Chains A and B, each alone.
Chain A
Amino acid sequence: MCRSIRERYGQLERICLSYDMAFVALFLSALYEPQEAVSEFRCPMHLLHCRQAVRNEYTDYAADMTIALAYHKCLDDWKDEHKRTRYEYSKLLKGSYEQIRKRYPRQCRMIEDSLSKLEEIENARVCMPDEAVNCSGKMLSELFVYQEDFWSNTLRTFGYELGRFIYLMDAVMDYNEDKKKNNFNPLFGMQMEPGEVETLLTMTIGNAAHQFETLPILKDAQLIRNILYGGVWQKYYVKMRKEKPYDI
C-alpha cells in the first residue's frame, strides 16, 4: 500500500498510512485471490532488511481509501482544533482526493455523508450512543465493497459491524480523557459497568466474525482470525491491566 501511495500520489501522502485500510487490503485480497506482483526493495523507513512488497488492485484500492480518509481527517482536525498545519496538509491532499473521488464516487460520498452526520451528532451532544456508533459503522461498511457483486451484502455487514466495534472501542479507550477535555463520547450518560461494555463490544465483533466465517476465505484465513478474535482486543487488555476499571 505504502509503495502504491508513493508511486501514484507522492511521498507526502505516505504519512497517511493506517492499519485499518491495510486490513481492508488484506481482507479483500484473501477473498478475491487476485494476481499479485511481488517485488523486493529497501524501505527508507526500515533500512535494516530487504523487504518484499505484494501489490494487487486491492492494495491500490486501500491506498486510495487511505488518502480519502486522511484528507477528511485533516479537514476535521482543522475544524475542531484549528491547527494551521492540518489545513495546509488538506490543501496538499485535495488534488489526490479529487482523483480518487472520480474513481470511487460511491465510497467517497459515503465518507462525506457519514462524517457530516457524525459531526451533527457530536455537536448536538444529546446522548444517543447508537447513532454515533452506527454512523461510523455505515462509513466503513461501504469501504469494504470494492465493487458490487455477490459478496457485497456480506462485506457491507462485516464492514458495518467492524466499524461499530472500532468506534466503540475508541470510545472506551478515550473515555477518561474525553471526560477531562469535555469532548463528545457516545458512552457518556450510560449507566453501565465496564464488564457490560465488554458485552457490547463482543456482540459487535462477534457479528463481524460471523460474517467473515461465511465467506469462502482460505488464504490468510488464520491471520484474519488472529486479528478478529485476538488482535483487536490487544490495546484494550493493555489498558485494563494498567488502569483501574473506569467508571461508566
Chain B
Amino acid sequence: MISDPYSVLGVSQDAGMDEIKKAYRKKAKECHPDLHPDDPKAAEKMNEINEAYDMLTNPEKYRNQSRNTAEGRSARPGGTYGGSYGGANDRSYGGSYGDPRGGADPFGFDDLFHFGQRRGGPERPQAQPGDSNDLRQIIDFICMGQYGYARQILNRMVSADRNARWYYLSALTHYGQGNNIQAVEHIQKALQMEPDNPVYRKAMQDMTQQGDYYTREGADFQRYAEGMNRMCLSLCAIQIFFTFCRCC
C-alpha cells in the first residue's frame, strides 16, 4: 500500500474532488503504458496512480481493509488491480498489469453485501441485558458477517418472540444480505413498536444516510426535474438521452 497518495498524484492535502480527478487524468495520460511500451515499470507506475486515486476516493475501504485483516477475514485486494485506466486509444489490459478477475463469479456478489465493504450502513449490534440466547447468537453471527446463519435463527423464532429487538436484528441481517427493501421494512416495524429507541433510529438513519446525502447534493437537479411541466419533460428527456444526435 502506498504511503502518500497525494504526492503520487501531485496534489496538496486539502485538494477537492475535482482537483483530484483532474490530477488523476493528467497523470494517467502522462504515464499510460501505451505511451511507454519499452518501459517495464510503466505498468507498475500506472497501478500506483490508480491505487493513489482509489485511496483518496474510497478511504473507508482502506480503513476497513486493515480492520478486516486484523480480524482474520479475507480482505479485498487493495494493490494491483490490473487493467487500463482508459483514455485515448483505450485497450483492455486485463492480463498485463496484474490479476484480472477471472472465473465464474469474479466480482463475488456476496462480497458486496459485507458490512465492512459497504459505504456507511448501520453499526454492529450489541448484546443487551435481557437478550435471549437466540438473540445473542444472532448478534454474534451478524458481527461475523454470517448473515445466513443469523437468518436461520431469526426464522426459527416464533411470532410471540418477534418483538422490536427481533425486527431490529432482522433488519440488520437483511441489510447485510443486500435486501434493502426488507431491511427498511423491518427497521420501520421496530420503530413502530418502540418509537423512542435511539439505537433503532440510528440504524434507520445509517441505512438511509446515502439517500440523505444524495437528496442534499441533488436538491437543485430535483427541483428542476419536479418543476418542469410535461411538454418540457419530453423535450428534456430527448435532449438528455440523445446526446449523440445533436442538432446543428
Chain A residues proximal to chain B, CB less than 8 Å: 1-2, 19, 22-23, 25-26, 31-35, 40, 43, 46, 49-55, 57, 59, 129-131, 133-134, 138, 141, 147-153, 156-157, 160, 164, 168, 186, 190-192, 196, 199-200, 202-207, 209-210, 213-214, 216-218, 220, 223, 225-231, 233-235, 237-238
Contacts and interface: CB of A to CB of B under 8 A. Distances in A.
Given A216-B21, A218-B25, A229-B218, A51 B245 contact: yes
Interface in B221-248: 221-222, 224-226, 228, 230, 233, 236-237, 240-248
B215 interface: yes
A52 B248 contact: yes
A191 B186 CA distance: 10
Contacts of B245: 2, 43, 46, 51-53
A230 B222 contact: yes
Given A203-B207, A206-B210, A218-B25, A231 B247 contact: no
Nearest to B56: A214
Contacts of B102: 148
Q: Interface residues of B toward A: which range?
A: 35 or more
A54 B244 contact: yes
Contacts of A220: 243
Interface stretch (B63-71, B81-89, B145-153): B81-89
Nearest to B54: A150
A25 B244 contact: yes
Contacts of A19: 237, 241
Contact of A33 (B87, B101, B237, B246): B87
Interface stretch (B33-41, B129-137, B163-171, B176-184): B176-184
B214 A205 contact: yes
16 contacts: A2-B245, A32-B87, A50-B248, A51-B246, A141-B107, A148-B101, A149-B83, A149-B94, A150-B50, A152-B83, A164-B180, A202-B211, A210-B119, A210-B214, A231-B237, A234-B228
Given A49-B248, A150-B50, A210-B119, A203 B83 contact: no
Interface in B195-217: 207-208, 210-215, 217
